[in-house]
């Protein structure tokens, strides 16, 4: 896809969202199934059923997906798609790879040390790019990718999150 095709694809959406801001507010959803044996949760993606389980550092055997890895994979996917969209819009020829890594202290999630944080302490996102773009163009590309990457901005801004529980007794 080139810049004109992407702009043509997105122009009616942008026009509608300018005229009707409420139309831009969309709720994305994910569902998991807790049925079955073991310590796992099955999550339906757009194309497959993924089973997440314990990371080997918490007792898993490594045969199931780790939700921490899935979070980093979502960051890589979003940053990669966003970078490609921005590059396309700017008319830059860019290829390469996207990497994310995060540091965890498993003492927190295992309850070994109450002072140890639960969750990632640090996350690093790296782009290894192959491009003929100038240093200024690459800087603009990365700045705009950071600004418009939904997953990155969600991690950076830590949105309000709530938890609710419904039981069979509630119905």
Secondary structure class of 113 (helix, strand, coil): coil
In a domain, 139, yes or no: yes
| Alpha helices, DSSP H, located in the chain | 3-19, 67-90, 106-109, 135-148, 150-157
Domain assignment of residue 75, yes or no: yes
How far apart CA 13 and CA 24 sit, in angstroms, is 9
What CA–CA distance (Å, rounded) separates 3 from 9? Answer: 10
How far out from the chain centre does Cα 75 lie?
3
In a domain? residue 150: yes
Asked if residue 27 is part of any domain, the answer here is: no
For residue 18, being part of any structural domain is answered with no
In tens, the pLDDT along 73-111 reads 999 999 999 999 999 999 999 999 999 999 999 999 999
Range of the domain at 143: 67-157
Task: Identify whether 151 is part of a domain.
Answer: yes
- Note the pTM of the prediction, 2 decimals: 0.91
pLDDT on residue 156? 96
Residue 88: inside a domain: yes
In the chain, what are the helix, strand and coil shares in percent, each to the nearest 5?
A: 45, 20, 35
Helix, strand or coil for residue 115? coil
Q: Check which CATH number belongs to the domain holding 146 and give it.
A: 3.30.300.20
**Rounded to 5 degrees, what angle do the CA atoms 144, 148, 154 make?**
130
Residue 138 belongs to some domain of the structure: yes
**Number of compact structural domains in the chain:** 1
17-64 pLDDT tens trace: 999 999 999 999 999 999 777 899 999 988 999 999 999 999 999 999
């Amino acid at each position: 896809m080139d810049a004109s095709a992407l702009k043509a694809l997105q122009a009616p959406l942008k026009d509608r969202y300018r005229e009707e801001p409420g139309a831009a507010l969309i709720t994305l959803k994910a569902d998991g199934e807790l049925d079955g044996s073991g310590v796992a949760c099955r999550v339906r993606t757009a194309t497959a059923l993924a089973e997440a389980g314990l990371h080997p550092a918490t007792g898993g055997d490594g045969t199931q997906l780790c939700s921490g890895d899935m979070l980093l994979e979502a960051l890589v996917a979003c940053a990669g798609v966003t970078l490609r969209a921005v590059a396309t819009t700017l008319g830059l020829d860019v290829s390469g790879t996207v990497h994310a890594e995060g540091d965890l202290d498993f003492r927190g999630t295992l309850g070994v040390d109450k002072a140890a944080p639960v969750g990632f302490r640090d996350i690093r996102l790296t782009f290894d790019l192959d491009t003929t773009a100038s240093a200024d163009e690459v800087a603009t590309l990365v700045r705009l990718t950071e600004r418009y990457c939904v997953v990155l901005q969600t991690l950076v801004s830590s949105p309000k999150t709530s938890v609710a529980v419904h039981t069979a007794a509630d119905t």
